[in-house]
Amino acid sequence: MTAIDAIKGTRDILPEEVGYWQWIESVAREILNRAAYQEIRTPIFEQTDLFARGIGEATDVVGKEMYTFIDKGDRSVTLRPEGTAGVVRAYIENGLHVKGSLQRLWYVGPMFRYENVQAGRQRQFHQLGCEVLGSADPRADVEVIALAIDILTTLGLKDLRLDLNSVGTPDDRQQYREALVNYLTPYKEDLDPDSKIRLTRNPMRILDSKNPETRKIVQDAPKIWDHLAPESRKRFEQVQQQLTDLGIGFTLNPCLVRGLDYYTHTAFEIVAETGLGAQNAVGGGGRYDGLVTELGGPETPAVGWAMGLERLLLLLQQLASAPAIDLDFYVVSRGGKAEPQALQLAQKLRKQGFAVDLDLTASAFGKQFKRADRSGAAACLILGDDEAVNGTVQLKWLGSGEQESMPQANLLEKAAVLRDRIQNLNSKR
């Protein structure tokens, strides 16, 4: 039989790595819960139309990156390429807008895009995201950004840059688009091929081109800031002021254009200065006041972001080793009477909150000790048939080699003392 491999662009998260994931999730959960955000879990696949409408037919995500298939009921379904559309669908469908004037939500889970794989990019990847639905207040934009920064700094990440821009209202953009096209048209022949096409399709995308020639031209292009209506401009200034008041540094980046159609006003991206490859954005988001109506809901201003967890992980792995659970006891046993007792003892200790590994091999004691040693446990519990008959157990501290015999019942009664001693040992490590 030939072995079957995981699908291209997917990978296993193995036990040695899973500690990072649990760490990221627990930090995010705590910070978001503390800010009164509630977790929401939506389906991993949805009607294809949801994404086509929500994200925009013209975008690459919809146009060429969706995992779409026809199910047995002849429905076109798509594995979600991002989280916001599903959250907004759930918000409308479940009438969350009438349950409270404002919803603060967060989510974490796998997303799917049919793309070619490279550093920090897979076909199944994971995003953590949060959304505030029902507030147009600039403070919502700032709150959301501040929480993203909190999560990242709590995880110990440094050298991150917050890029900030405003893409205004659809009207603002309309005006700006004209100005931009007017500026770029004379340079048409000097633009890279992709940007040439964008000139008619989606001129703002030319702003974030990586092509050096194009960048040079773009440098002197008109800035959207000069085409924002007074209201939009005021809003943008408020966001900047409030970020500053919170001590959050940012870089104004007039070329930051989000890929998805529904964004309005605030757009931001959190970029890793070092440590990632070409795909260096760890998170991005912004305001999307138009999306809820686009998906058939009532007019609802909203703002949110998403972070790519694989990218976060790449950065974390360069900084720190994965947090692991310290093992308290390794139980060694041999003999017909002792082996079942060892299992019982292990279970009793686990119920008292100890982390206990039970050696299942029944091999020579010497071998079991070798494994006990490697397990990193603070202490080893030894049960042979002598102990089994007497109802005793040997407790051996693996660091010092100190060993004592005691009735099994005593061991359980001394739980508090043992816990202190183990904690003491672990803190010295």
Partner RNA sequence: GCGAGCGUAGCCAAGUGGUUAAGGCAGCGGAUUGUGGUUCCGCCACUCGGGGGUUCGAAUCCCCUCGUUCGCCCCA
Q: Binding residue for RNA (CB under 7 A) from 371, 414, 419, 421?
A: 371
For residue 301, the minimal CB distance to RNA (Å) is 19
For residue 14, the minimal CB distance to RNA (Å) is 10
Q: Binding residue for RNA (CB under 7 A) from 156, 249, 277, 340?
A: 277
Question: How far is residue 165's CA from residue 243's CA, in Å, rounded to a whole number?
Answer: 13
Local structure of 354: helix, strand or coil: coil
Local structure of 198: helix, strand or coil: helix
Rounded to a whole number, what is the distance in angstroms from the first to the last CA of the chain?
46
User: Binding to RNA by residue 331, rule CB under 7 A?
Assistant: no
List of residues 6+ apart from 383 with CB closer than 8 A: 331, 332, 333, 334, 338, 339, 341, 342, 345, 393, 394
Local structure of 166: helix, strand or coil: strand
For residue 381, the minimal CB distance to RNA (Å) is 10
User: Binding to RNA by residue 385, rule CB under 7 A?
Assistant: yes
Part in contact with RNA (CB under 7 A); list of ranges 19-27, 155-163, 301-309, 350-358: 301-309
Do 284 and 300 meet the contact criterion of CB atoms below 8 Å apart?
Answer: no
State the binding string over 110-139 for RNA (x if CB under 7 A, else -): ---x-xxxxxxxx--x-x------------
How many helices (H) does the chain have, and how many strands (E)?
17, 16
User: Binding to RNA by residue 359, rule CB under 7 A?
Assistant: no
Q: Binding residue for RNA (CB under 7 A) from 384, 408, 411, 422?
A: 384
State the binding string over 148-177 for RNA (x if CB under 7 A, else -): ------------------------------
Q: Binding residue for RNA (CB under 7 A) from 27, 48, 65, 419?
A: 65
Residue entry with tokens 């995003």: 127
Strand-pair category, 264-272 with 281-287:
antiparallel
Q: Binding residue for RNA (CB under 7 A) from 175, 238, 240, 279?
A: 279
User: Binding to RNA by residue 422, rule CB under 7 A?
Assistant: no
How many C-beta neighbours within 10 Å does residue 120 have?
A: 22
Do 188 and 181 meet the contact criterion of CB atoms below 8 Å apart?
Answer: no
Q: What are the distances in angstroms from CA 404 to CA 99, 347, 380, 395, 407?
A: 62, 21, 11, 5, 10
Structure tokens at 331: 């139980």
Q: Binding residue for RNA (CB under 7 A) from 318, 399, 407, 423?
A: 399
Q: Binding residue for RNA (CB under 7 A) from 19, 343, 369, 419?
A: 369
For residue 73, the minimal CB distance to RNA (Å) is 27
Part in contact with RNA (CB under 7 A); list of ranges 68-76, 230-238, 282-290, 419-427: 282-290
User: Binding to RNA by residue 14, rule CB under 7 A?
Assistant: no
Local structure of 134: helix, strand or coil: coil
Interface residue list for RNA (CB under 7 A): 5-6, 8-9, 59-61, 65, 82, 113, 115-122, 125, 127, 194, 198, 205, 208-211, 258-260, 269, 277-284, 306-308, 310-311, 334-335, 361, 363-367, 369-374, 382, 384-387, 394, 396, 398-401, 403
